[in-house]
Amino acid sequence: MKSFKERISQIYYTHGLFCASHPYSIIISVIITSACICYPLTNLPLPGNAPVKYITPLEGYKVPPRVQPMTKHDEQDLANPRWYVGKPKGYIQQIVFKATVSPWKSSQMISTDAFRAPLSLLFKTLEQINNLKVHVRGEDITLSDLCLRVSEVVTRGKVKGLLPEYSCLLVSPINLWQHEETKFSKDPDLLKTIFRRYGQPLETGPYVKDLLFGIPWFKSGISHYAIRNKERPVSFAITIVSKRYDPVFTEALRVKLESLYPETTENVNNTEIRHMVHYHYKDINYFAEYTYLFVTYFVLLLYLYFSVKKIEMVKSKWGLAISAVAMVIASLLVSVSICTFFGMTPKLKGSEIFPYLVVIIGVENVVVLTKSVVSTPVHLDVKYRVAQGLSKEGWFMTKNLVLELGIILVGFFTFVPAIQEFCLFAVVGLASDFFLQMVFFVTVLSVDIRRMELSDLHKQSVFQSVHDNQEASVQIEPLYRCPVASNFPSMAANTPKLHKSKSDPRLDSQGDPHGTPPPSPGAQADDTFFPSPAILELPRRLKFLYFWARTRIFQRLIMVCTVIWIALIVYKSGLVDTLTSQNESVPSSYPHHTVDTLIKAEMLAEKTSKAPNEGMWGMGRVYEYDDGIGPVEHTELELFDQLSYKHWQTLFGHYNISVLGSYVSILPTIHVSAIIDPDTAIKMRHPADMQSSTELNSPNQPITHSDTLKTEDSTNEMSDYTHMYDAEQLKLFIPKSEKEFIITVSFGILSVIVITYFMVVMYKCMCSRNYAKWRSSWAKVRRHHRKGANRFIKESIPLVLRGHNQDIECITTDGQLVISACLGGELRVWDSNSGECISTLNRKSIIPPRRRKPCLGRNIEDSDADLYAEYHGDSFGMESTGSSDTSLSEKSRSLEYSRHNRFENEPDLSSTISFDFTTPDPVSPKLSEISKDGDASGSSQGYDFKSRFNKVYEEHWQLVHNADPTTFNRDNRIHSVELSGHDWENILSPRLRSLSTGETPWYFDDDMTEEIVSAVWCLACREGLIVVGCGNGRVEIWEAEAGVLKCQYEMKPSGVTAISFTGNSVIVARLDGSIDFLALETFRNPINPPPVTTPSIPRQHRGHVRSSSEVKVYDEILRCVCHLSVRAHQRPINALQSEGGRVVSASQDHTLKVFRLEDCLCLYTLHGHEGSVTALSLDKLPPYSAVSGSTDGRVRLWDLLTGSCVYMFHGHDGAVSTVTSTLQFVISVGGDDKLCVWDRHKGQLIHSMSIYNCCGSSICLLSNSLVVTGSQGKLYLCDIVKGEIVREVQLKDSDQAAFVRRIKSVGSMSIVCDFGKELEILHFPTILEKRE
Amino acid sequence: MASIQSLLARGTVLFTVGVFFALVLNLLQVQRHVTVFPPEVLASIFSSAWWIPPSCGTAAAIIGLLYPCLDTKLGETQYYKREWSSVMRCVAVFVGINHASAKIDFANNMQLSVTLAAMSIGLWWLFDRSRSGFGLGVGIAVLATFVTQLLVYHGVYRYTEPDFLFVRSWLPCIFFSGGVTMGNIGRQLALYDGDTDKEKNE
């Protein structure tokens, strides 16, 4: 279940990513799609305006009573609709003509012949009708007795002359010629007269010609541009409106007409339909109806208002609200359209069910979506925000959708047609709304959020507080990445697939003899932007080939072509036609049709199935009469059904008669068929006809219009058109029906979109601006191909360095040198290649000179400054008289701080250790308090303190003693303290400020040494010089290989927690939160000419030492000058690093500070962490950003140029113990045993690896994709790109094994780590093996 | 003091809503010629059965106040976060149910009743989902139907086509859904009151 949920959210994530990536194209395509789907709606009556249809049988018809019966009645009356009361506004009798000129002599005849002769039939017919007298019940009835007499036409325009006035309401096409036969025969252009616009300029349909013809226009067979010279049946109707219904008269009329046109009987059965159709036009002023409609709409409005009100935190609230509402409406339209397309006729009143549909569909998802997307971290890229927001709510939305669909589906089981119809609408509406939400709204939202980001970019600080509260964002890898997007280099950098190839050149650097530490993005940057010359030399055509190959354009083109081809096959095979024709035949199954039509339809269907060429058949009604239906056969007997729903309303409207609230009754239509002899038709021809047709039918006349009705026998046509196309073939390309036309158009639009898309892609590929990048990416691809080898990482047996007597506290590396310090304060220098100990720095044996050599290393020039500094130093020293206790207490603190004393050496100390990094260290305030007390009240306070730690210290001294038993015997603690006071006085009398080594290392007496040996808290090493930061606040500088103390600095008693050594400056961070900026100065003995002050400790100097003659060493004197000491933090500083001219300190007071190295100026204070900042890492190369981790489990990426937080990564449950960064990733290890890899550019979690027992281990980058981290007795080699542990190195398999805490890289692909008292050097050689 | 005031305000609002619903829904029924009113609709609303809307309003007020009260008494947690939009949705569905009962032609009364019952349960499930709401709704339905039966029995009121003793069989369903809807509105109002109280306290 959970994986299912994840899967769903993954799908949503991918979808969101896709939508937000291509917003505009998606919006446009969605709008086009819905417009296409809604197209059939144009033929549908507007909701609420459609007349209500009611059918009563013709037999036994009587005019319904004036009022609806109130009391109980029989079934029949109850079934009548409420409006079916009183007399109708009129009985409408239509006489539909279908006439054609046959046989068609194409050689002699012209196209207008097809219209003139049939229309002329009307004159004769109307005369007959007007003169018809029927003897009923002793009196003669003529049409004028029955018909509805109308007065003046009220509408303006030319309609006046065309419609009858002060006579019977009887209209027919010949009204166009005012019933005058001469006018008709003299009319030179019939079609022009027919198609002329009468009425007002902005008239909407039905037009006058529709009223006069009385049938749906497309059925009339008259087209404006009847170019093709062929036989065509023409249809038109005479419409008679009578005020009462006389069945006898109607019958007589029918008989009369049938006798006039003998062809009728062969083509239609006029007695087939025996019912009357009533159309009711609803009254708009129905109070009750509208009150409740008003109520529902009001409720709907409130609902929408309250829902939309909840959309917050977006740029344009109104825009989103409108799009949400528009979406709901569009989905309803789509739903109606789809339902009608599949043959359902809406019977419910649209305006009535509309509010309920909206409420059922709802805009909840929209609100939820907006909320979810808005609540994603603000600093992310928009598309990831959208994707995350979607994925968060994906499961919920899917569940809701399924639930709602389920509830609605229950409605189908009520078996009430109205409810079923409603449910059907609702289901389709829900589905389409969901689709629109997912595609349209999400995209609109992404556009909106992007706009907001642009406008609010400068208000970042405002959002800072917002995204501080963010929960951990869901990290989901999209299912599918855009294939085109991955071709673009900018995006490709983010895909893990290409990381591999990117990191490959990095691995190459391992063979580099320089042994620079791996994180060297500079080399990689070169790789990317300056392709190697070998690649540039390739011939152009090869490049082009590669281009083809890479973009896979051929494959894609072929794919598209195949799809189009298949689509064409499907289209040709008539599948679409069959589908559309099925839709056509659906209405025939409706209940109001009689059984006869049903049977007829069935017979037709049978015929079609028997037709041999099934594939070509089934074009709907168009070809129906090809299969044995005569040209003038009436196939649809209720043509008035297809008339515009405003037809009767308009007709009556011309006489100011309103049919609203009333109804009209339509009597069964009388159908008349007539076949006219061609000779008669030619005889009637107007001279102008001949002329125009010869012009039109000139041989090169192209076919511009297709005919819906094709009547000619094919041989004739063949003879006419063989010089153009094969007529049969031509027919296939002409859309035969409207639906087919729509499908064709949508196919066309689709292909246009596809082609445009490909053109854009092609353009982007070819665009000159990206050319360099493209080229570089080819280079990469090619190199990848050329290599043909697999890389394996091997491991060697660890090199064990033994020598320390206590657990190792600090490690640092310098080139091939490894410097380590143990808890006892012993420093050793090792060679990482051979594993031998080069030197042991015996710090216990060193004592600073009691008296400084007078003027030994001093120039005359700097005397003033020096003197001042000396005074300063003296006063400082005076202040710290009572600090011996403090230093001791800090020593104990150092033990705490190191967190190593829980191992076997000093078990007793565990009680004083605070492992809890998540809360601010309670010891530190106490400490500062104590030190203050010490300053104020002297040593008495110190004794209290001592008594507390006395035992611990005895233990410690004991251990030190044991470790080096040959050295001097120890006094007890109290003695040493007494002495210390004495000693300090002694020391203070000379100058304390800087101590230079004299001619010889100073070996000193016992009590002094005891005081001086202090725990090493931190180490830094550079070019053979080791800077040691001690727990008692002293900074010592040693010569690594020689093992001599060069210089020491002891100004403050506060322990040194971090040291950074760059150039000639040493930055010292202390426990009390202060930072000292020290500069190393080299002096030459003035005896040796000339006395030069070298500002840096250059290589030259080292060379001196190396090549050393003893004499030279004496010449070089190193001094340490404090430039500035600032109290940077209120709490102890946890880490300090310096890179690129910036010094960054991380403190327990939740902040980081950025200093400029040159002038020691504090540039920024970085706020944001909510706990002690425990880890810090700086970039070795531009962009010189910093990564910090804190006890609140968050990792932050800072931009040091602006001092702003770029990203906040939240993935750890406990404190973050180590962070490091590469050019693409940020890697962090937390106290929760997790190693997290983050994407530096997107701020996403890429991998989270669980590493057993690694808590607080440091990590070390081997290459850009490999890191080493430690655990209990183990080392793990992790691939950060793949997020897996590549190798596990077992140092010792035991529960008692020490934890590997410190790992440093030595050279490339080698690391050194501490392991209890030992050091281990591991080499990870990589070998290349040829690919199979 | 403030609580009494707010209670009165809520009661008034609910009363108004109840009267309004009574009028509108009656109109729907009039269309269908179910209840006996003269055909002149306007006159009927204000003259013949003048006591119906007020009594409906009173009932609505009682129900609307009872629901939140019961909620606090029973301490039942609400399934949904109360929002005006969902209340509006509920109202719309309620009107829809009424509309369906008035307009749709059912084959027989049984089908009508069953469909409406299902709709009412659906309404409750969609917008309430609390047991107290269901219980109260059922209680109201039974009581109100009984009262109507009594009224019709005594000839105060008459249905054109009674099929369930003296009244229409769908009446309980309508009462039930009406109760749930009113309860929803009442709860929302109470929530609003609580909020303002909190604000005042702060």
Written as one string, the DSSP assignment of A398-429 is HHHHHHHHHHHHHGGGG--HHHHHHHHHHHHH
| Contact call for B107 and A419, based on CB within 8 A | no
Query: Do A295 and B95 lie within an 8 Å CB cutoff?
Result: yes
Determine the pLDDT at residue A935.
45
Residue A549 confidence (pLDDT): 65
Q: Which is more confidently placed, A226 or A1135? A: A1135
In Å, how far are A532, B52, B119 from B98, measured between CA atoms?
79, 17, 10
Categorize the per-residue pLDDT at A1005 as very low, low, confident or very high, splitting at 50, 70 and 90.
very low
For residue B92, give the nearest of A359, A364, A415 by CB distance.
A359
The pLDDT > 90 percentage for chain A reads 0
Distance CA A1132, CA A86 (A): 99
Q: Which residue does chain A place closest to B45, by CA atoms?
A: A288
Which chain B residues touch A414 with a CB distance below 8 Å? 111, 114-115, 118
In chain B, the residue whose alpha carbon lies closest to the alpha carbon of A71 is B160
**The pLDDT of residue A1100 is above 70:** no
Q: Are A631 and A591 in contact (CB under 8 A)?
A: no
What mean pLDDT is predicted for residues A817-845? 80
CB contact under 8 A, A303 and B33: no
Q: Which region among A201-205, A1027-1031, B39-43 has the lowest average model confidence (pLDDT)?
A: B39-43
Contact A248, A136 (CB under 8 A): yes
Residue A296 C-alpha, separation from nearest chain B C-alpha, in angstroms: 7
Would you tell me how many other CB atoms lie within 10 Å of the CB of residue A285? Answer: 9
Q: Name the pLDDT band for A229 (thresholds 50, 70, 90).
A: low
Confidence (pLDDT) at A766 = 64
Average pLDDT over residues A821-847: 77
Q: Summarize pLDDT for A719-761 with one digit per residue, the tens.
A: 444 444 444 545 555 555 677 778 888 888 888 888 888 888 8
Using CB atoms within 10 A of its CB, is residue A1200 exposed (0-12), middle (13-18) or buried (19+)?
Answer: buried
State how far Cα A754 lies from the chain centre: 21
Range scoring the smallest mean pLDDT among A510-524, A808-822, A1258-1272, B99-113: A510-524
Please report residues of B whose CB lies closer than 8 A to that of A359. Answer: 89, 92-93, 96
Q: How far is B70 from chain A (nearest CA, A)?
A: 26
Question: Which amino acid, residue A1322?
Answer: L
pLDDT, mean of residues A948-977? 52
Contacts of B24 in chain A (CB under 8 A): 291-292, 295
CA-atom Rg of chain A in angstroms: 49
Ramachandran area for residue A1160 (φ above 0: left; ψ -120 to 50: alpha; else beta): left
* CB–CB contact B27 A288 (8 Å): yes
**Chain A hits for B31, Cβ within 8 Å:** 288-289
Report the range of poorest mean pLDDT among A41-55, A672-686, A1101-1115, B130-144: A1101-1115
pLDDT beyond 50 at B64: yes
Residue A615 pLDDT greater than 50, yes or no: no
pLDDT for A1090 equals 45
A288:B104 CB<8 A: no
* DSSP SS3 for A784: helix
Strand partners, A811: A820
pLDDT higher than 80, residue A791: no
B105/A407 CB distance under 8 A = no
Are B88 and A302 inside 8 Å of each other by CB? yes
pLDDT of amino acid A540: 66
Strands A139-141 vs A134-136: parallel, antiparallel or unpaired: antiparallel
Contact call for A356 and B92, based on CB within 8 A: yes
Residue B99, pLDDT score: 80
Highest mean pLDDT among A489-493, A552-556, A1001-1005, A1317-1321: A1317-1321
Q: How far apart are CA B160 and CA B166, in angstroms?
A: 10
Q: Best residue in B29, B87, B88, B177 to probe A by mutation, most A CBs within 10 Å?
A: B88
3-state DSSP assignment of residue A832:
coil
Is the CB of A292 less than 8 angstroms away from the CB of B91?
no
- Which of A66, A72, A301, A306 best tests the B interface by mutation, with the highest count of B CBs <10 A? A306
Q: How buried is A1153 (Cβ within 10 angstroms: 0-12 exposed, 13-18 middle, 19+ buried)?
A: buried
pLDDT exceeds 50 at position A789:
yes
Return the amino acid letter for A328.
V
On the question of pLDDT at A498 being above 60, the answer is no
Give φ, ψ of A1126 to 5 degrees.
-120, 145
Kindly report the average pLDDT of chain A as a whole number.
69
Contact B96 A356 (CB under 8 A): yes
Chain A residues in contact with B28 (beta carbon < 8 A): 288, 292
In this complex, do B84 and A302 lie within 8 Å of one another by their Cβ atoms? Answer: yes
Provide the pLDDT confidence category of residue B81 given band limits of 50, 70 and 90. low
pLDDT band for position A607 (50/70/90)? very low
**CA dist., res. B74 & res. B77, Å (int):** 9
Q: Rounded to two decimals, what is the model's pTM? A: 0.43
| Chain A residues lying within 8 Å of B105, measured CB to CB | 416, 418
Q: What is the pLDDT of residue A487?
A: 45
Strands A91-101 and A663-666, sheet pairing: parallel
A362 has pLDDT over 60: yes
- Look at strands A1142-1147 and A1186-1190 and give their pairing: unpaired
Contact at CB, B89 and A359, closer than 8 angstroms: yes
Do the Cβ atoms of B85 and A299 come within 8 Å?
Answer: no
Q: Which two tokens stand for residue B2?
A: 């403030």
Contact between chains at B96 and A410 (C-beta distance less than 8 A): no
**Above 70 in pLDDT, residue A622?**
no
Answer whether A301's CB lies under 8 Å from A325's CB: no
pLDDT for res A1264: 75
State the pLDDT at residue A666.
Answer: 87
**3-state class of A53 per DSSP?**
strand
Sorting pLDDT into bands at 50, 70 and 90, what band is A1126?
A: confident
Q: Which tens digit of pLDDT belongs to each residue from B139-197? A: 888 988 888 888 877 776 666 666 666 667 778 888 899 888 888 888 888 877 665 55
Instruction: Tell me the pLDDT band of A574, cut-offs 50, 70 and 90.
Output: low
Among B85, B129, B184, most A C-beta atoms within 10 A, so best to mutate, is: B85
d(CA A521, CA A1220): 14
Residues in B whose CB is inside 8 Å of some CB of A read 24, 27-28, 30-31, 33, 41-42, 83-85, 87-89, 91-93, 95-96, 99-100, 103-107, 111, 114-115, 118, 122, 126
Q: Which pLDDT score, from 0 to 100, does residue A76 have?
A: 46
- Residue B24: closest C-alpha in chain A: A292
List CB contacts (< 8 A) between A307 and chain B: 85
Indicate the helix (H) or strand (E) that contains A1162: strand A1161-1166
Residue A586 reports pLDDT greater than 60: no
pLDDT of residue A1208: 85
> By the 8 A CB rule, do A1184 and A1161 touch?
no
Q: Which of A295, A303, A407 faces B85 most closely, judged by CB atoms? A: A303
At A1050-1095, the pLDDT tens digits run: 877 888 888 888 878 888 888 888 888 888 887 766 554 444 444 4
Q: What is the pLDDT of residues A307-334, one digit of tens each?
A: 877 777 777 778 888 888 888 888 888 8
pLDDT in the model for residue A1074: 87
Do residue B88 and residue A306 have CB atoms under 8 angstroms apart? yes
pLDDT for position A1215: 85
Query: Residue B22 above 80 pLDDT?
Result: yes
Which residue in A has a C-alpha nearest to residue B103's C-alpha? A418
What value does the mean pLDDT of chain B take?
76
Q: Which residues of B touch A328 (CB under 8 A)?
A: none
pLDDT for the residue A197: 67
What's the CA gap between A854 and A662, in Å, rounded? Answer: 125
The shortest CB-CB distance from B115 to any of A289, A407, A414 is to A414
Q: What pLDDT does A501 receive?
A: 38
* pLDDT value for B80: 64
Does pLDDT of B105 surpass 50? yes
User: Nearest CB to B24: which of A295, A310, A355?
Assistant: A295
